[in-house]
Amino acid sequence: MERTDPSAFLAGTVLVVPAFVTNRVLKRAYLQMQDPKTGVKSQPQKLVITTIPHAITGEDVVTWLANRYTIEAEEAWALGTMLVAFGYIYPLQDHKRLVIKPDTALYRFQTPYFWPAQQWPVEDTDYAIYLAKRNIRKKGVLEMHEQEQYNGLHKWMNHKWDFIVMQAKEQYRAGKERKKPDRAVFDCQERAYWVVHRPPVRHTHTLQGIPSRSPNISVKNPTIKPCIYFDWPRVKSSVSIGALVKYSVTCNKHDPFLAPCLPSNPWVTDDVTYWLLNMANVDIPTKMRVERWTFSFGELLSDPRGRDDFRLFLKKEFSGENLAFWEACEDLKWGTAATMNEKAQTFLARGAPRWINIDGKTMEVTVKGLKHPHRYVLDAAQTHIFMLMKKDSYGRYLKSPVFKDTQKRAIGPDQHRFRSVLCVSTVDILSGLSCPSPSMQRWKDFVIVRTVITLSPPPPFSSVSQLEANARKRRPSISPIIVRQQEKEERARMATSGPVDITQVMSKLSNKGKEVPPPKK
């Protein structure tokens, strides 16, 4: 059997076939498919709102290959996939996956000018013109791999980039003069050509060999894809950096590491005014706290005082059940699951006292999940209510008299200004006192306790220089173990240095000998 017969080619056991042999086989199959009498029947097909002439379906291609070469459906699918992957047939819809789909997906026969058998040299300049033209058409929004190639070519061909942009604009202007069906067909042809010759980084280059096949493949659900492309969403670095800069500028003065705490830092000054002003349910909040509520809806809900203010606004609009349901879902996540049925009867049941308005699809998902309840069963409904409040109620709240009144009554504490301090040592205080006992003398000798006398409470440091000076003068405290050891040494020294009363010693010894042991029970 001749090796150029596609059926023999597929039935062979050769794993690596030269590209020219593969092109010869596929070209022969392609020409037979285009025969007007025995080939694949083509007809105009509607793609969205554009009618594409001479379109074929993937199901027709696979069926024709199976009948023409008397092969299995799996082999016909593999041969059709090779025709698409090598650029003889191009898809009209899914350009990222160069495979044949055995369904109603639309394809067209590629123009002979773009065949791989022509062996035209693939120039980087032509690819740069194509990307520049596509960049103009898409207004700067390219796919991930195309954007990387565009940036690389722009950097490498910077010396002639003006010429490339000029050619791209001329081709784009000429393309707009064509009819809409012809323009759509040419765009698909050109895109398929460059996907074959300039595949994404994660693709295997199609012209390097034959796509692998598996005997367990299914035509209805093919699992082997010679070109796999992961279209991960990615934001431009300029957009990400701009968002980061905007966030940093907005939250700069709210960061305690970058801005001072008002009125003072309680960890440095021992003044608890900052904590008292920022309690969870304080009556009058601070201006910086109210300002944080305008950053985002999540910032408002994370503050208990902000939630109370938002609840008052929703109560006036007769939609307080939305926030109540959101809080109930949070309580279900972090609390006990025993109240799940109670919450469902309160917010989700028909005729419930605080019934919430959610769409039918979300309600169906929630009701289905309540048959096997868990603590996250209300997540879909909670997300729906959250987005509803964020897009509708939150914007009106920021313009409402409730928020403006709270913003007007908010207080802005001034920074505390503390006076200088006077440090007096206990040694100085005890120097004029008598020391009636050895313990007082011992504390005078070994322990230094600083008594801070301030002219205005509380007792913080007045400045950074004063804080550094106090840190240099500070001495470490004595360990209690050393204090007890010194007490023992002091007792022993006093016992050896003082006179001994023999009468008292003998009386103690005699009393110790006369001690009567306690009676046994």
Say if residue 50 is exposed, middle or buried (CB neighbours under 10 Å; 0-12, 13-18, 19+).
middle
Q: CA-based Rg of the chain, rounded to a whole angstrom?
A: 42
User: Is 405 within 8 Å of 432 (Cβ atoms)?
Assistant: no
pLDDT at 456: 41
CB-count exposure of residue 201 (10 Å: 0-12, 13-18, 19+):
exposed
What integer pLDDT is reported at residue 21 of this predicted model? Answer: 62
- pTM beyond 0.85: the answer is no
Alpha helices in 157-261 (DSSP H): 161-176, 180-197, 237-250
Contact between 363 and 378 (Cβ < 8 Å): no
- Mean pLDDT of successive 10-residue stretches along the chain, which has 521 residues: 46 48 75 84 78 84 88 86 83 78 84 72 84 85 83 86 88 84 82 79 47 40 41 71 88 84 84 87 90 92 92 90 90 77 80 83 85 84 91 92 93 75 42 44 41 41 62 65 78 68 59 54 49
Give pLDDT, residue 405.
Answer: 94
Check if the beta carbon of residue 280 is closer than 8 Å to that of residue 269. Answer: no
Sign of the dihedral defined by the CA atoms of residues 248, 254, 257, 260, in that order: positive
| C-alpha distances out from residue 426 to 241, 423, 435, 448, 460, Å | 58, 10, 13, 6, 20
Q: What pLDDT does 367 receive?
A: 85
**Tally of CA atoms within 13 A in the half-sphere of 491 that contains its CB:** 5
Q: What is the DSSP letter of 464?
A: H
Q: For every residue of 265-319, which 3-state class applies, written as one string?
A: CHHHHCCCHHHHHCCCCCCCCEHHHHHHHCCCHHHHHHCHHHHHHHHHHHHHCCC
Residue where the block lists tokens 């305690």: 256
Cα 60 to Cα 94, 475, 506, distances in angstroms: 17, 92, 125
Indicate the helix (H) or strand (E) that contains 107.
strand 106-109
Q: Closest Cα partner for 187 from 199, 170, 175?
A: 175
The predicted pLDDT at position 207 comes to 47
Residue 310 has a CB neighbour count (10 Å cut-off) of 24
Letter for the amino acid at 484?
R
What pLDDT does 18 receive?
Answer: 55
CB-based contacts of 356-360 (< 8 A; 24+ apart in sequence): 356/321, 356/322, 356/325, 356/381, 356/385, 358/384, 358/385, 359/384
The helix (run of H) or strand (run of E) holding residue 421 is: strand 421-425
Closest to 227 measured CA to CA, from 194, 198, 197, 205: 205
User: What distances in angstroms separate CA 302 from CA 305, 307, 444, one per listed residue?
Assistant: 9, 8, 54
For residue 2, what pLDDT is reported? 40
Write down the pLDDT at residue 8. 46
Scanning 34-123, the segments in alpha helix (DSSP H) are 58-69, 73-85
Q: Give me the sign of the Cα torsion angle 111, 113, 118, 123.
A: negative
